[in-house]
Amino acid sequence: MIPEAAIPSPNIWRNPGVYELENRAVDPERVIETAMERIRTVDGAHVLDIGCGTGFHLPRFAERARRVTGVEPHPRLAEAARRRVRGLPGVEVLDGVAQRLPVPDSVVEVAHARWAYFFGPGCEPGLAELDRVMRRGGVAFVIDNDATRSTFGGWFRRSLPSYDPAAVERFWVSRGFTREALTMRWDFTDRRAFEAVVRIEFPSALAEEIIASHPGLTVDYAVNLWWRRY
């Protein structure tokens, strides 16, 4: 059963198979991962992936972390994540929400939330949970869209015209987070995969306009890497 406190994700919850195609296309040069590593390595750390979905990032963390915990509110996705990491030592997937993390106090050294729950104002309960579970010296990372630039940012801004990037930035700064502006890309190997992903990410009319007007398989994509040391 999905917890009442869970905030539905319109893309992966409804279309996990298509979202898998998106994960494979995102950031082939590992721009985000490299930036995270400059701030706080996962080597020997207890890594918490909040909203881990089907566990796409968990095996990568497990290559170098001491322990990896994925938390996911959607039972079907959590089960898929467990299948993905079966047999990997030190990796677990727990059912739960960001507002009530099933993790003890002061044990996490690297927290990772990528396009999950932490979207600015309104996520204060989840931030309170980060305050509880983070270990002194640990770092929490939040990855979200930068609506002020890039091709994808322009599409995102058109899909959510009421979105206020400046207000979101003020929120994160007020909570003690630092922003690193990054540019990565989508890079698909198949046009059908690109079109399927566009259709789960944007309203139907905009998605069809994007598909008709954007040739090729690559999209420049700006993100904000928000991070805070505890």
Per-residue confidence (pLDDT) for residue 3, from 0 to 100: 79
Question: In this predicted structure, what is the pLDDT of residue 4?
Answer: 76
Residue with tokens 């905030």, as numbered in its chain: 7
- Residue whose structure tokens are 């409804």: 14
Q: Please give the average pLDDT of every successive group of 10 residues along the chain, which has 230 residues.
A: 78 91 97 98 98 97 98 96 96 97 98 93 95 98 97 96 94 97 97 98 98 97 98
pLDDT of residue 1: 75
Which tens digits make up the pLDDT trace of 47-90?
999 999 999 999 999 999 999 999 999 999 999 999 999 999 99
**pLDDT the model gives residue 6:** 74
As beta bridge partners, residue 180 has 225
> Which pLDDT score is estimated for 10?
83
Measured distance CA(217)–CA(142) in Å, rounded: 27
Closest to 142 measured CA to CA, from 169, 102, 164: 169
> How far, in Å, CA of 225 to CA of 182, rounded?
7
Sign of CA dihedral 116, 205, 185, 16: positive
Contact present, 139 and 178 (Cβ < 8 Å): no
